[in-house]
Structure 1
């Protein structure tokens, strides 16, 4: 048995008793074709191009019209010694480094500290960049959620999850769901590709874990024809994302009262969809109705990873509501001068 044949062996991908022959295509019946997933590469590139055009031609003018503007930040005086340390060694030098740099630059230690603080401020993303990114994600998540809702509302298995498993894996794949799956995979691949260039948040590592888990689940569920289950999972996850991005946009526009109201709506939808609906209905039926085999164990693992992230983010969201909205704590979008690299985006409505 060759490497490719071993990888695609039906015992790994399908429940006991099922083979790839059960998913053989005909003129009238279409099943998932794993090679189609390669289209996610050009799909991701296309989405990145569309995003760049959207941010420049739609989000940027919209942000200006709505009063979004970047704060003026002091420019640092050119200094080759300090700049070299900043770029090559550290953005936040320790006390000993500050003393050494002060001697090398013939400057007081306090001025060196100020130089690094202002230099970090220059590299911080402005409100307009954040607004443009949030606008793009809001547009995609909003379109994705309501498109999925439109595709699923008339499906019996959407309302009764036990129907998801009837006659599995012999469940023909409608072309609309096929293209939707490919679009979702392309989008998350584009997010991974642009992570180094997007606004970096404190939960950067959690975001990478989330994207890897999501991409893996989309890939394996497509190959194993778990499209019905996958569509429901994606819909549940998309239910709150566009509300969060709207709250961010309102925050950058400084419409704080409206922002707080939208954020509370987001918190309610997030907690209900991800801590109630997802584990107690969607995931419950997968565990109880699906036979245990290699792929189901892998899916279980990644679903548990997502659930742990849901709990982590729910804690931050609840903490945000109590500390900022209910107790009236001061919210900051731009991070403080001294701790800008350490502040969590939970404090500026950026958790998802």
Structure 2
């Protein structure tokens, strides 16, 4: 991959190896999610959770059987995150300011993937995969463009603005993921409450019918 991406980084005017490495990391991320994002949407389109239908996450639970392409996609994504965690843990990438948080994020992600697969919450995991992949693609592309534009107009003010832009993008991404998680939790609560209300209504109706029968 470096044979293809390093010349691109050099042609973009990035001279230091640190900047070239960071550019290649983001380009690799963009390429990966550009492929896996549409694949995830295709996989989702063939499941009950298409277009983030939260009701489909719980209907027929537990979901113990899946088609081969679904399992391949799910486990391929798990392998990617395992690889990312290993790369970060071994220090194969230049450490960032949020290095500890990033390593913790990857380890937590692996635990969630493993638990979702073990306890059959794979439809919910699929929705999280797709949300994350699509947003991360735009984040990676934005960071690449910011770095290229910064290199063309190399001065301190633009460097400050570039860092601000990246921080803003990352915050927006986190807000979007938090909103998706809250939406799933809210839908789960509504579904549970709906089942409870239906059971209570049925019980109340049964009681009334018995009372009317006795009166008759």
Shared topology, TM-score over 0.5? yes
Task: Note if contact 2:62-2:120 (Cα within 8 Å) is conserved in structure 1.
Answer: yes
Residues 206 and 175 of structure 1, relative CA distance in 2, 3 Å threshold: same
Once the 2 structures are TM-superposed, how far is the Cα of residue 266 of structure 1 from its aligned partner? 4.2
Between 197-206 and 269-278, report the one with greater CA deviation.
269-278
Report the secondary structure of 1:254's partner residue.
Answer: helix
- 2:188 and 2:128 map into 1 onto residues whose CA distance is 11
- 2:59 and 2:124 map into 1 onto residues whose CA distance is 12
- 1:170 and 1:154 map into 2 onto residues whose CA distance is 14
Q: What is the number of residues matched between the two proteins?
A: 179
Work out whether 1:244 is the aligned partner of 2:139: yes
Once the 2 structures are TM-superposed, how far is the Cα of residue 163 of structure 1 from its aligned partner? 1.7
Once the 2 structures are TM-superposed, how far is the Cα of residue 157 of structure 1 from its aligned partner? 2.0
Runs of 4+ aligned residues of structure 1 deviating over 4 Å after TM superposition are: 262-269, 286-290
Task: Note if contact 1:239-1:270 (Cα within 8 Å) is conserved in structure 2.
Answer: no
Unmatched segments (≥5 aa) in structure 1 = 1-53, 71-124, 291-352
- 1:264 and 1:142 map into 2 onto residues whose CA distance is 22
Residues 132 and 170 of structure 1, relative CA distance in 2, 3 Å threshold: closer
- 1:202 and 1:268 map into 2 onto residues whose CA distance is 15
Once the 2 structures are TM-superposed, how far is the Cα of residue 186 of structure 1 from its aligned partner? 0.7
Partner of 1:282: 184
Work out whether 1:273 is the aligned partner of 2:176: yes
Q: Which has the higher contact order (CA 8 A, sep 6+)?
A: 2
Once the 2 structures are TM-superposed, how far is the Cα of residue 240 of structure 1 from its aligned partner? 1.7
Once the 2 structures are TM-superposed, how far is the Cα of residue 231 of structure 1 from its aligned partner? 0.2
Partner of 1:148: 40
Partner of 2:195: none
Work out whether 1:188 is the aligned partner of 2:90: no
Unmatched segments (≥5 aa) in structure 2 = 193-216
- 2:96 and 2:58 map into 1 onto residues whose CA distance is 39
Report the secondary structure of 1:67's partner residue.
Answer: coil
Residues 193 and 252 of structure 1, relative CA distance in 2, 3 Å threshold: same
Aligned alpha-carbon RMSD (Å): 2.8
Q: TM-score, normalised by structure 2?
A: 0.71
Residues 170 and 194 of structure 1, relative CA distance in 2, 3 Å threshold: closer
Work out whether 1:138 is the aligned partner of 2:30: yes
The equivalent position to 2:12 in structure 1, one of 53, 66, 80, is 66
Residues 133 and 150 of structure 1, relative CA distance in 2, 3 Å threshold: same
- 1:286 and 1:61 map into 2 onto residues whose CA distance is 49
Once the 2 structures are TM-superposed, how far is the Cα of residue 211 of structure 1 from its aligned partner? 0.7
